[in-house]
Amino acid sequence: MNADDRANALIRESTASIRHVVLREAPLDIVFGLLLVLFAVVLWVGAGYIEGGSRDLMGPAGFPRGVALLLGVASLLMTVRGVLGLRSRSGDEEISIDQPVAVLINMALIVIYPILVTTFGYYLATGPWLVALLFASGNRRILPIIGYAVGFLIFTKLVFQIVIGIPLP
């Protein structure tokens, strides 16, 4: 085996390890449960900045606060489940992620989408974002991807702006 063959074997081996990750379930439940509880608290506090908002579940801030409350309770239950899983045999269960890089890219795209919409507006942000999201999700045919993005933008324009009369940002 020459140096090129060894280098190619190492590259194949390293990409194979990136394509499949196995993690324990209980610690993931704890970490993501706590992160989601934190997100629920931020959502609750952020709802207070809605114009005309009140301190309870009535008024314009009611819906986001209701979502925050449900998310917080469900996330606390998830965290408790993770803690109990660590203490019992069920904490040995594993979660397999077949394409972790694609999952991380999609998570990043979801996180930056509100920033893009705020900065560039709905149409300028959503079209390219959908193309990137579909490509990162494994769709590699460019013409259907562009068709999906354009079709989605036309659909949202027709439904929200023309039929319902709700302007998009």
**Residue reference for tokens 């900065």:** 119
Mean pLDDT of 13-25: 69
Q: Rounded to two decimals, what is the model's pTM?
A: 0.62
Mean model confidence pLDDT for the chain: 85
3-state class (DSSP) for residue 96: strand
pLDDT digits (tens, 9 = 90+) for 45-95: 988 887 665 666 667 778 888 899 999 999 999 999 999 988 887 657 888
Crossing angle between the packed helical segments 122-136 and 100-120, to the nearest 10 degrees: 170
pLDDT at 91: 57
What are the Cα distances from residue 53, in Å, to 40, 114, 156? 17, 22, 28
